Structure 1
Amino acid sequence: MKLATLKDGSRDGQLVVVSRDLKQAHYATDIAGKLQTVLDDWNFYAPQLQDLYDALNAGRARHPFAFAPRDCMAPLPRAYQWADGSAYVNHVELVRKARGAEMPAEFWTDPLMYQGGSDDFVGPQDDIVCASEAFGIDFEAEVAVITGDVRMGATPEQAGDAIRLVMLANDVSLRNLIPAELGKGFGFFQSKPATAFSPVAVTPDELGEAWRERKVHLPMTVHWNSKKVGQPDCGTDMVFDFGQLIAHICKTRNVRAGSIVGSGTISNVDRKKGYCCIAEKRMLETIDEGKPVTEFMKFGDAVKIEMFDAQGHSVFGAIDQLVAAA
């Protein structure tokens, strides 16, 4: 099934079920008003939402209405946890190669991960608001999952069983703030502003054969100012699957329902697939030409992130954002 959260003036919005073709929606008020409520008792609420989803797709829902992504918040507007990994080690390797740094062997066996702000996500068509272009504004197209409860010490297989929903993310980075922050030895903070997510989150079964090995085997399409700059396959070159990423968190603590875990920037070894963040393009320029040429985003720039199934249908709807001055 496909779920979304509509803006209603509150912090957590209103949960709706969205048709498979993303054309219609139906309020889930009679079942649950908020997505977090559903995640807290998935086995009770999910079957009821599935029945409503089936009725909506069959034309039997009582009060459908036109679905408009512009009215959406993030599917889970605020979360108990937002942990973002770096599952595409090719991306990490390029970054280190561009600055002449060795690639530690353990990066291939132990995933990188940071914990981002989860109290203020933004909707799929909300602006990327930034105080200055000098901060180095960059998009990062990712896949993310929302979990149920996962106990400390869970295996990747057990962690994978707790994946409830899948969605897309634009994990915006302020690249020119990162070096000073990492130089302090304490990780990202100001360099990671509010993350945006796709209009809808979908259950893994909606992906059919594209969901296997706890990965999404579909291309990620990225347009920057209407120009397609990337279409890498999300299943290719993903060194750590979502079960492994969640299990990484669970090494020392429980993961609670409503946690969001990101894949990190999608990146393929095949350069013809393009890029999902400007930093990777700049790294390749540095490696090939000795210095970066492509500039970061400016006020008024647009980024569109979307995923299509084998039949060419949008799966999650598009993240479609403009960069705006604070």
Structure 2
Amino acid sequence: MKLATLKDGTRDGQLIIVSRDLKTAQVADGIAPTLQRALDDWGFIAPQLDEAYRLLNDGKGRRSFDFDPANCMAPLPRAFQWAGGAAYVNHLELVHAARNAELPESFRDEPLMHQGAGDDFLGPRDDIALPREEWGIDFEAGIAVVTDDVPMGATPDEAHQQIRLLMLVNDVSLRKLMPDELAKGFGFPQSKPATGFSPVAVTPDELGDAWKGGKAHLPLRSSWNGKPVGQPNAGVDMAFNFPQLIAHLAMTRNARAGAIVGSGAVSNKDAKKGYSCIAEKRCLELIADGEASTPFMVFGDTIRIEMLDADGKSIFGAIEQTVKQTDLRKPR
């Protein structure tokens, strides 16, 4: 099943059902007004959405219309919880190697995770609006899952059963603001502006055999200014799968329906697969040449993030964003 949220002038938009080929859609009226409402009563509402999805794919959709990602908000325009993990230890190893530092063994035993801002997500075509280039603007291509209720102390196996949807994510980072924030040892809210998500959220079964072991075993493709820069496989070298990430989050608290948990930038040990964030490319340059030569993003730059299935068809639709300058005091 594929779901999206249509812009309708409200904060939470209108839930729509999208066909498997991403060509048509229909409003989920009479079933659930928003995706959060569907997640709040998933056991009752999901079968109704799934039946409408089946009919839509059979060409029998109710008042169907052409699907346009430009008219979409993030599938969940705001969430009660957004936690970004660092599931790819290769990325962490490169960051430390670039600093001539050893990766702490604890980083291999349990995942790193930060609490993100869930109140202001970007849609798949929304601009990355920032006032200053010198903050070190970086894209960060990853995958995220949306959960049902996960009780405190849940095991990874229990957490696995509560995964309801998957999305692509652009967890934008401001790299030159990070060092000072990290030095304070209390997170980095300023270094992590609004996060962007794919046009549609999909149930795990939409990935077919590529969804196994709590991982999405498909390449995640990133193109910067139209140039392909990375296609690492999201299932390869993922040291902590999504059930483990969710269980880590829920160790001391409940994670409620609609919680979003991200993988962090997808990274493979095989450097030929490219990169999912500029910071990783710069780390490779520092290790090889002693200095980083690839610049961060500037105003006017574009980033496209997409995942294709084995037949070359888009699963989630693409994130396509442009970095734009905005007044520091001017709301979007």
CA deviation string 1:97-144 (max 9, x = no partner): 101111111111110000010000010000001110000000000000
Q: Which residue of 2 aligns with 1:230?
A: 230
In structure 2, C-alpha distance between the alignment counterparts of 1:316 and 1:250, rounded to whole Å: 27
SS of alignment partner, residue 176 of structure 1: coil
CA deviation string 1:18-55 (max 9, x = no partner): 00000000000110110000100100000000000000
Q: Which residue of 1 aligns with 2:10?
A: 10
In structure 1, C-alpha distance between the alignment counterparts of 2:277 and 2:208, rounded to whole Å: 27
Q: Which residue of 2 aligns with 1:140?
A: 140
2:10 partner letter: S
Q: Which residue of 1 aligns with 2:321?
A: 321
SS of alignment partner, residue 60 of structure 2: coil
Q: Which residue of 1 aligns with 2:84?
A: 84
1:84 partner letter: G
* Structural mapping, 1:62-101, within 5 Å: 62-101=62-101
* Structural mapping, 1:238-277, within 5 Å: 238-277=238-277
Q: Which residue of 1 aligns with 2:45?
A: 45
In structure 1, C-alpha distance between the alignment counterparts of 2:83 and 2:189, rounded to whole Å: 13
In structure 1, C-alpha distance between the alignment counterparts of 2:195 and 2:265, rounded to whole Å: 13
In structure 2, C-alpha distance between the alignment counterparts of 1:2 and 1:249, rounded to whole Å: 26
Q: Which residue of 1 aligns with 2:120?
A: 120
Q: Which residue of 1 aligns with 2:329?
A: none
In structure 2, C-alpha distance between the alignment counterparts of 1:185 and 1:167, rounded to whole Å: 29
In structure 1, C-alpha distance between the alignment counterparts of 2:204 and 2:307, rounded to whole Å: 14
In structure 2, C-alpha distance between the alignment counterparts of 1:195 and 1:46, rounded to whole Å: 26
Residue 153 in structure 1 maps to residue 153 in structure 2: yes
In structure 2, C-alpha distance between the alignment counterparts of 1:51 and 1:185, rounded to whole Å: 48
Q: TM-score, normalised by structure 1?
A: 1.00
Q: Which residue of 2 aligns with 1:202?
A: 202
2:272 partner letter: K
In structure 2, C-alpha distance between the alignment counterparts of 1:186 and 1:253, rounded to whole Å: 19
Aligned pairs, how many?
326
Structure 1 unaligned residues grouped into runs of 5+: none
In structure 2, C-alpha distance between the alignment counterparts of 1:56 and 1:268, rounded to whole Å: 37
> What fraction of aligned residue pairs are identical, expressed as a percent?
64
CA deviation string 1:255-287 (max 9, x = no partner): 100000000100000000000000000000000
SS of alignment partner, residue 190 of structure 2: coil
1:183 partner letter: A
Q: Which residue of 1 aligns with 2:330?
A: none
Q: Which residue of 2 aligns with 1:34?
A: 34
Q: Which residue of 1 aligns with 2:25?
A: 25
2:143 partner letter: V
Q: TM-score, normalised by structure 2?
A: 0.98
Deviation at 1:62, TM superposition (A): 2.3
Deviation at 1:295, TM superposition (A): 0.2
Q: Which residue of 1 aligns with 2:221?
A: 221
Residue 169 in structure 1 maps to residue 169 in structure 2: yes
Q: Which residue of 1 aligns with 2:305?
A: 305
SS of alignment partner, residue 3 of structure 1: strand
SS of alignment partner, residue 176 of structure 2: helix
SS of alignment partner, residue 47 of structure 2: helix
The CA RMSD over aligned residues, in Å, is: 0.5
Deviation at 1:167, TM superposition (A): 0.6
SS of alignment partner, residue 165 of structure 1: strand
SS of alignment partner, residue 323 of structure 2: strand
In structure 1, C-alpha distance between the alignment counterparts of 2:184 and 2:239, rounded to whole Å: 28
In structure 2, C-alpha distance between the alignment counterparts of 1:310 and 1:250, rounded to whole Å: 33
2:252 partner letter: T
In structure 2, C-alpha distance between the alignment counterparts of 1:61 and 1:111, rounded to whole Å: 43
> 4+ residue stretches of structure 1 with deviation over 4 A?
none
